[in-house]
Amino acid sequence: MTNKLRSAAVLLLAAALCSTSVFCTGCGKQQETSDADSDAGSIYVPEVPESRVDENTPGEDYTGVIGDTINYADKLDVTLNDVIEIDNINKLEYRVLLAEITIHNKTSEKIDCSTITHFYTLIDGEEDTNSVRDVQAAVSARKYYTSINSPLENFNQAIEGGQTLDGYVYIYAPSSWKEMKLVYTPYKYYNTDQIIFTLAEENFLHKSYSE
């Protein structure tokens, strides 16, 4: 019964990703909702094990910055290639960042990788999961990658054993902050180890999309 309830909760969370009423930090319009739905495609729902790790269990932190490749326990190589800031939005209200990441699964077993469950930000020390689920950020990301004819997509799938996957995480950011970190928990539900990238503004690439 517990597992069924957990599975139902995850399905509801996945469905809510496509709704402006839950995850949109600002006031999303109907067209923005449609664009975000298109960006998400069919939502991948990670498997939740019957016995999951207690989230308060201490884990190991692996840290890096933009451009670094983190070797996680000889299981994964995770590279934060670039962080792009979209310039043609009203930055007095919010900012949109695109963290472009390469994940190489060095094991023979697949791993889950979903923005909904595996990523969040630390902004001035405060944990924020909504920042990587925001509709406006999703729309800006899709507009940008469409305008440059890029096939890159947000993380929303399993990564098979031996597979290398390129993707991005979109981030709805405040107009200003002192420190921002992007946190990736590769074995969510199984352990609490984290890969933490510090996002330094001076290393951002600045891009715009065509209207």
Asked if residues 80 and 99 have their Cβ atoms less than 8 Å apart, the reply is: yes
- Tell me which residue range forms the domain holding 33: 2-207
Contacts of 128-133 with CB under 8 Å at 24 or more apart are 130/23, 130/25, 130/172, 131/25, 131/171, 131/172, 131/173, 132/169, 132/170, 132/171, 132/172, 133/17, 133/23
Q: What is the pLDDT of residues 5-64, one digit of tens each?
A: 334 344 434 434 433 333 333 333 333 334 444 444 567 788 888 899 998 899 999 999
Beta bridge partners of 86: 207
Q: What is the pLDDT of residues 96-112, one digit of tens each?
A: 999 999 999 999 999 99
- The total number of structural domains in the chain stands at 1
Arithmetic mean of pLDDT, 180-194: 97
Residues 81, 68: Cα–Cα separation, whole Å: 7
Arithmetic mean of pLDDT, 178-186: 98
CATH, residue 142: 2.60.40.1240
Q: What is the pLDDT of residues 115-174, one digit of tens each?
A: 888 999 999 999 999 999 999 999 999 999 999 999 999 999 999 999 999 999 999 999
- pLDDT for 42: 67
Residues 102, 159: Cα–Cα separation, whole Å: 11
Residues 143, 208: Cα–Cα separation, whole Å: 9
Residues 140, 27: Cα–Cα separation, whole Å: 14
- pLDDT for 116: 81
Instruction: Report strand pairing: 111-114 vs 76-86.
Output: unpaired
Asked if residues 39 and 138 have their Cβ atoms less than 8 Å apart, the reply is: yes
Crossing angle (nearest 10°) for helices 30-40 and 135-147 = 70
Residue 118, CA distances (Å) to 2, 12, 33, 158, 178 in order: 21, 17, 22, 12, 24
- Predicted model pTM: 0.81
Beta bridge partners of 206: 85
